[in-house]
Structure 1
């Protein structure tokens, strides 16, 4: 059963759950009322599949269900969230919701309405925080700036998510809201029909993204939003099913590699700043180029890529197309790409176009190696400023 089939199964189940049924085909269920979850849970708890009928809710979350101990959700469980309900996994708790292909776990609104309930928030660094074969719908109602999604991962927390669906969020689908949070796994997920972004992370977590996730359908912005921060760990950036939206300023203090096929849509005023201890390798291939472009096709829409004191031999741009930047008026960086403070860069078979200022600017004590095959087009100030 493919993830797409799982997604369709989830939508059908949500539809039929709204219909009354007197015959579940499996005999009479011994329990007639779901269990209400609310308040604070400090002891270990296993949420069992209570009903033979898979369409009946097993549990109802009313208000905020605070988890301060280990909570495990068994396959086939259906959790219904009342209006503005929340699941808050605190620092001493864990939440493991692991279903199967045949018995996914449902976490859904009491009404099939976008933004009916608030969020599932992970504030715990427990490796048992897992969402697998889960179908999560109708969340994202919270107006709190720190919790703008159906699934929220807070600073220093961690979670792994596989083979799951998030849909019908009134804000973002999945958000990492902290520089030090960890995404232990993120594979084969489908996130759709969210008012804002399907996925929103910090640059620190970008390595967890890959092509197995589907996020390009029905969202307000069908991109993975990546908010800038300071990165002190080595990173490899994988291609994804669509593009990354890069916002604000990211400072790279370590080795970073962008793999072939990656597309960066650069937000207004966004910058990549490679410091002296860092490096940035942007190497596509002849058949799988890297694209770094403005989120809008307007000259100067974003600022620059700045090799700022980094002289690593890994500073390379090959088979890459860079466009619609050069928005900065700083003397060091009025270009799509800047090399300064004894930095170095080599370029090959790449294009630099539609800059509001220069294509590339190089300070007097820095080095640019042109290995040939490069193209400069329609840069307002010129091609290369030495």
Structure 2
């Protein structure tokens, strides 16, 4: 691995090493290593990136191989070899946004990672990477991105050090995104494929911002803690696939979500998951059509699921809404806090709709507005409810109807 030392000098492609050699006497040890020059890096301007495919190789004797001083749009495939170190000047970056969807291939190794850094070690010194290429072979393996992250110009309000959008595809394997401003990895709603494994996101303002459609890859193989804001921020959008919330080392922070209107979806929450909900938000397992979505939110006695408001205030967020008759719907070993509407009805932390199905057990309702659950009796008793071990903690009552009236026995309202 190279010893990273950023050297800012006038740079040229053909470098005179200026190494002097002396003859060895017969007493000298044979095979003695010759001194290694500290070769200055090669500067790549924007014109360099307009000439087609790019292959960045190691520069012998250089601790920093290349300096990039601009923010070019890449016009061909790009291949970066293991061990290459690139330093970006202020406001520089790389844009992989050409409609031809050229391939991005950064193949570092554990021994020789690729380093993308700044010429100054300050958060947000350089812009970072903007990617819309949907080439299925795109990969970043053993790559470190550091000291990047800005609000990119152009009116789209894209923020972050590594940004994927408009159909972008990327496989992040053993990558590190650190010391970045705004957001480490920002995978926005128009991106199409995100794979993350064995990677580290630390010392950023926020480790990852994305939406629920991309959380399947945010799993236990990677680490996400040690940031200014230690949570995965989920931007609000409708869910268009089956998703699983994994038990990672930081919470998810959500402004609410629901399935879209295309098909049935399954929502799975692994034991130990923590969701922090923003003010006025709601999680709805329903949409405009009766697709009977499946909700599987089951922790364990030793590894409970937690869903709570950002502030410890009753009614800070609206709660969960179940509108599905799937027999897979189950909520268990859940601590739900700060939920329920403060005005209007129904105001339970969990709402069960007409003709719907739910098994619920071992749930603590903590500091919720008035009721733990609200049940829709508008068409009479026409739902399936199995419940046990429901506990009220600073929550006044357990059951209500959808008009806010208390129900002592949910089977005899």
User: Does TM, normalized by the shorter one, top 0.5?
Assistant: yes
Q: Which residue of 1 aligns with 2:271?
A: 260
Q: Which residue of 2 aligns with 1:86?
A: 93
Q: Which residue of 2 aligns with 1:245?
A: 253
Is 1:128 the counterpart of 2:137? The answer is yes
What is the correspondence of 1:192-203 to structure 2 with a 5 Å cutoff?
Answer: 192-195=202-205, 197-203=206-212
For the aligned residue pairs, the C-alpha RMSD in angstroms reads: 2.5
- Secondary structure of the structure 1 residue equivalent to 2:46: strand
| Unpaired runs of at least 5, structure 1 | 1-8
1:31 CA drift (Å): 6.6
Decide which of 249, 252, 269 is 2:280's aligned counterpart: 269
- What do residues 340-369 of structure 1 show as CA deviations (whole Å, max 9, x unaligned)? 142221101121221123211010145352
What is the correspondence of 1:54-203 to structure 2 with a 5 Å cutoff?
Answer: 55=63, 57-90=64-97, 91=99, 92-142=101-151, 144=153, 146-183=157-194, 185-195=195-205, 197-203=206-212
1:129 CA drift (Å): 2.0
Q: Which residue of 1 aligns with 2:385?
A: 369
1:175 CA drift (Å): 0.8
Decide which of 56, 61, 67 is 1:47's aligned counterpart: 56
Decide which of 228, 235, 238 is 2:236's aligned counterpart: 228
More strand by share: 1
Q: Highest CA radius of gyration, 1 or 2?
A: 2
Decide which of 363, 370, 382 is 1:350's aligned counterpart: 363
- In the alignment, is the contact (CA less than 8 A) between 1:115 and 1:140 conserved in 2? yes
1:205 CA drift (Å): 0.6
Q: Which residue of 1 aligns with 2:302?
A: 287
| Unpaired runs of at least 5, structure 2 | 10-17, 20-32, 402-413
1:136 CA drift (Å): 0.9
- In the alignment, is the contact (CA less than 8 A) between 1:164 and 1:188 conserved in 2? yes
Is 1:384 the counterpart of 2:399? The answer is yes
- What do residues 184-221 of structure 1 show as CA deviations (whole Å, max 9, x unaligned)? x21221112222x111110111111112222210x221
- In the alignment, is the contact (CA less than 8 A) between 1:338 and 1:361 conserved in 2? yes
Quote the Cα distance in structure 1 between the aligned partners of 2:354 and 2:75: 50
- What do residues 264-296 of structure 1 show as CA deviations (whole Å, max 9, x unaligned)? 111222211112322211011222211111122
1:18 CA drift (Å): 6.3
Quote the Cα distance in structure 2 between the aligned partners of 1:164 and 1:26: 34
- What do residues 120-165 of structure 1 show as CA deviations (whole Å, max 9, x unaligned)? 0111111222221111111112354532100001132111112111
- In the alignment, is the contact (CA less than 8 A) between 2:259 and 2:265 conserved in 1? no
- Secondary structure of the structure 1 residue equivalent to 2:71: strand
- Secondary structure of the structure 2 residue equivalent to 1:80: strand
- In the alignment, is the contact (CA less than 8 A) between 1:339 and 1:368 conserved in 2? no
Q: How many equivalent pairs are there? A: 365
Q: Which residue of 1 aligns with 2:407?
A: none
Quote the Cα distance in structure 1 between the aligned partners of 2:350 and 2:34: 66
- In the alignment, is the contact (CA less than 8 A) between 1:119 and 1:142 conserved in 2? no
- In the alignment, is the contact (CA less than 8 A) between 1:179 and 1:202 conserved in 2? no
Quote the Cα distance in structure 2 between the aligned partners of 1:193 and 1:363: 47
- Runs of 4+ in structure 1 off by over 6 angstroms are none
Quote the Cα distance in structure 2 between the aligned partners of 1:110 and 1:19: 8
Q: Which residue of 2 aligns with 1:214?
A: 223
Q: Which residue of 1 aligns with 2:321?
A: 306
Q: In the superposition, relative to structure 1, how do residues 122 and 143 fare at CA in structure 2: closer, same or farther (>3 Å)?
A: closer
Quote the Cα distance in structure 1 between the aligned partners of 2:391 and 2:354: 25
Quote the Cα distance in structure 2 between the aligned partners of 1:377 and 1:93: 56
- Secondary structure of the structure 2 residue equivalent to 1:67: coil
Quote the Cα distance in structure 2 between the aligned partners of 1:147 and 1:347: 41
